[in-house]
Every structure is written in structure tokens, then in C-alpha cells.
Amino acid sequence: MIFLDRVSKKYPRTARPALEKFSLQVAPGEFVIIMGRSGAGKSTILKLLTREEKPTNGKIVVGGIDYDDLHDRDVPLLRRRIGVVFQDYKLLPHRTVYENVAFAMEISGMTNREIELNVPKILELVGLKGKEDKFPRHLSGGESQRVAIARAMVRQPKILIADEPTANLDDETSIEIVKLLIKINRYGTTVLMITHDTNIVKKLRHRVVQIAGGRLVGDTALKKAVK
């Protein structure tokens, strides 16, 4: 469960809050699209969920963890439960596809045996079997995004947050990436997809949460509940 209750975030020296009294509940295993224009507050939600930032007001509870009680020393453990796919991939340029994914496991303290067992499995899941020895410079945008997804998923997090995963990709590749996220969701992972791509959203039949000016302005789940 992801639970945000009347959460606000105001950064220093800004005229208005980046997020204002924003509330959201996401059930385990749900696929939710968070949609809004640039500057709407989408990235702030990501930073709050990963504890990169703390809210100015409001309550956040993720997977039974109340962020009010979360100590700084426990943040790394929290982040192991939340996989993040960044818009700009953040791949290590001098490491191969295999090494990029393995590195995420290394820094978590996993053994070489665990790495050898799990990296090939996740690369096959995301459609990168046979690309293990390629360097990022030799990959297409779609392939790079698949590496980023593999790296986020290799530790088997309960939640995956994809930040603008189709940005800078053509329509066909964008659909492939979204289908991969849906596939991951069907395995039981809760997926939050942050986007401003209306074309992608129109093709999906998933819950859409709309945000503008830091406020919740639409939620298709709430509309269905009213009906």
C-alpha cells in the first residue's frame, strides 16, 4: 500500500508549494499512471516516496512504513523496496549491460552467486538476452530503457516507479516499454508510471491520477467508485 494524506512540499525561496494537500492511495499490485505537465509536481512525488525529500506537511506510509518514524539510517533499506527507472537512464557508460545490472546488486551487498543467478533472468525478462556484453553507447534508446528497468527490478522490489519512461522514444518503442511495465505489474509488482504523454495514456486502460499546480485534479479510480 502507498498512502499519501494531504501531503504538501514547499521548497525554500519558491512562491508556491510544489505539492499542496495531495492525497493518494495505491493498493498492492496496482498499476497507476500519474499524469501532469512539466512542473505539475510529479517529480516531487517521486522524491518524497524515495525519501530524497521530506514533506513540509502531511503523512506518507509505504508498505507499512510510516515515514514520520523513518530514521535516516533506514532509508537505504526503504529504497531497496522501491525500484526507480529514471528518464535519462543513468547507465554507467564504461560498464556492459550485464555489469550495469550486476552493479545494482553489488551495492546492495548481494553475493556473486546471487548476481550470477538473477542477472541473466532479469535480462531475459526485459528482452535483452544476447545483449549482455554491449556497452550503453551501442544501445538504442529503447534498449537503454530496458537496461534501466532491469537494474531497477533485479532486487525484486515491491514497487516500481517509472519516471517518464517513454520520453525521447518513438511511438513504437514507447508502446514496447509500456507493455514491459505491464508485464512486470502482472508478476505482482506495484507500478507507478509518471508521464505527460497523453497518447500513451489514451492507449492504456489503467487508473490515471492527474496533477496540476501541485494539486490532485483527477483520479479515474474515484470516478469509478462514484458510479
Q: Give the chain's domains with CATH numbers.
A: 2-91+158-226 (3.40.50.300)
Residue 44 has pLDDT above 60, yes or no: yes
For residue 79, what pLDDT is reported? 85
pLDDT at 222: 61
Least Cα distance to 150 among 166, 167, 168, 162 occurs for 162
Whether 7 has a pLDDT exceeding 90, the answer reads yes
State pLDDT tens for residues 203-216: 888 999 999 999 99
The rounded Cα 13 to chain-centroid distance in angstroms is: 28
Q: What is the pLDDT of residue 198?
A: 86
pLDDT at 213: 93
Distance between start and end Cα atoms, the chain: 24
Summarize pLDDT for 107-133 with one digit per residue, the tens: 878 899 999 999 999 999 999 999 999
pLDDT for the residue 162: 95
User: Under a CB-based contact definition with an 8 Å cutoff, are residues 145 and 169 in contact?
Assistant: yes
Full-model pTM: 0.90
* Whole-angstrom distance, CA of residue 103 vs CA of residue 127: 19
- Tell me the pLDDT tens digit for each residue of 55-83: 999 999 998 899 999 999 999 888 888 99
What pLDDT does residue 34 have? Answer: 96
Q: What percent of the chain has pLDDT over 90?
A: 73
More confident residue, 10 or 87: 10
- Residue written as cell 497507476? 32
Mean pLDDT across the stretch 165-181? 91
pLDDT band of 220, cuts 50, 70, 90: confident
Strand order in the sheet with 31-35: 82-85, 159-163, 190-195, 31-35, 207-212, 215-219
Q: What is the percent of the chain with per-residue pLDDT over 70, rounded to a whole number?
A: 97
Residues 91-98: what's their mean pLDDT? 95
CB neighbourhood size of 226 (10 A): 5
Report the DSSP beta bridge partners of residue 2: 26, 62
Q: Is the pLDDT of residue 139 over 90?
A: yes
pLDDT at 221 over 80: no
Residue 155 to residue 114: CA distance in whole angstroms:
10
